[in-house]
Structure 1
Amino acid sequence: MAVKNRSYANRGATFERLVDMANTKYRNAGVADIRKVPTPVQITKSKGRLVEGRKETAEWVDYAGVYKGRAIAFDAKETGETSFPLKNLSPHQYKLLESWHKKGAVVFLLVSMKKFGRTYLLPFKVLQTASEVAKNGGRKSIAWETFKNECIEVNSKDGYTLHYLDALEV
């Protein structure tokens, strides 16, 4: 009998595979070129072809690329809760999204709400508002109602596993 790995390290891996499949289809169709940003690794030991290393703290977001002549950057997050905890996004990632947003890039989060079986595109402005509220002592997460009312639901469509670029056109 196979044992399912429920480790922290594999959390969100299935969701990221769906995003990767959509990105490959976008690239093959000439729609966009968006790629997964590799996790930085510091090599600690090297002997011949064998290399040991440790993952460094991610300062980048999961994905970056170009769409319709504009830079695009986003992170894919998954939560099993009824809200999205802001602590799931590191301060470095938030600052990168904020910087790119100020420079005119398309930035957002793709959030899989596992409890509801739905995925949403969370625009940066909604994230920014929630972050400001949290900084001022308010709620430290984004409520399900906010996703329903202020975010764009992402679905499978036209052969895309997650047609998130379609959500940008709404």
Structure 2
Amino acid sequence: MSKAYSRSHANRGAGLERLVDMVNTQYRNKGVADIRKVPTPVQIMKHHGRTVTGYTQKGEWVDYVGVHNGRTIVFDAKETSNRTSFPLDNVSDHQYELLKSWYEKGAHSFLIVSFKKLNEIYLLSFNLLEAYWEGAKEGGRKSIPYDEFVTECDLVKSEKGYVLHYLKVI
């Protein structure tokens, strides 16, 4: 399932990430949780005065990590323009493996998935992701149907003053 880097994928999820960053700040300010965005690693090639030349490295992590009620939380935020399914190739192998490893050690591991054109955001549990991921490896579907999100995932909404109250559903 690994894929080559694509510039068209570079800013996918930027809108969703802004919402997640805002709610994480709200959670932190209210003492509810401390969840932070993991910075993208940068390899500096040369440094000359105020000019720095470098490139972003392939991340080994997911977007967010933190703690809530004494339990570790690790997740990634994903957006799709697809109306009928969430393509599994939106998740890299290393992201899946990290979510799996942390889940096996007791962390809340999940994806927050935005169906942009439907204006809906869901929390996809690691269990459901794993079922489809392993099925795809065995020759099954390479995406999770939208209907599966509607019936098996929690819809994440703005409520109680939080812009995207995802902790409510974990």
TM-score, normalization by structure 2: 0.93
Measure the CA separation in 1 of the matches of 2:9 and 2:143: 20
Structure 1: give runs of 5+ residues left out of the alignment: 1-6
Aligned to 2:5: none
Structure 2: give runs of 5+ residues left out of the alignment: 1-7
For 1:10, what is the secondary structure of its paired residue? Answer: coil
Matches for 1:19-30 after TM superposition, within 5 Å: 19-30=20-31
Aligned to 1:119: 121
Aligned to 2:73: 72
Q: Which AA in structure 1 matches 2:126?
A: F
Query: Displacement, 1:14?
Result: 1.2
1:17-40 residue CA offsets vs partner (Å, 9 max, x unmatched): 000000000000000000000001
Matches for 1:1-170 after TM superposition, within 5 Å: 8-81=9-82, 82-168=84-170
Q: Which AA in structure 2 matches 1:87?
A: D
Measure the CA separation in 2 of the matches of 1:14 and 1:86: 20
Measure the CA separation in 2 of the matches of 1:115 and 1:47: 44
Measure the CA separation in 2 of the matches of 1:140 and 1:14: 25
Q: Where do 4+ consecutive residues of structure 1 move more than 6 Å? A: none
TM-score, normalization by structure 1: 0.93
Output the aligned Cα RMSD.
1.2
Q: Which AA in structure 2 matches 1:141?
A: S
Measure the CA separation in 1 of the matches of 2:74 and 2:17: 14
Q: Which AA in structure 1 matches 2:43?
A: Q
For 1:115, what is the secondary structure of its paired residue? Answer: helix
Query: Displacement, 1:51?
Result: 1.1
Task: Provide the identity percentage.
Answer: 62
Aligned to 1:3: none
Q: Which AA in structure 2 matches 1:88?
A: N
For 2:139, what is the secondary structure of its paired residue? Answer: coil
Query: Displacement, 1:115?
Result: 2.3
Measure the CA separation in 1 of the matches of 2:85 and 2:60: 24
1:110-146 residue CA offsets vs partner (Å, 9 max, x unmatched): 0001121100000000000000110110100000011
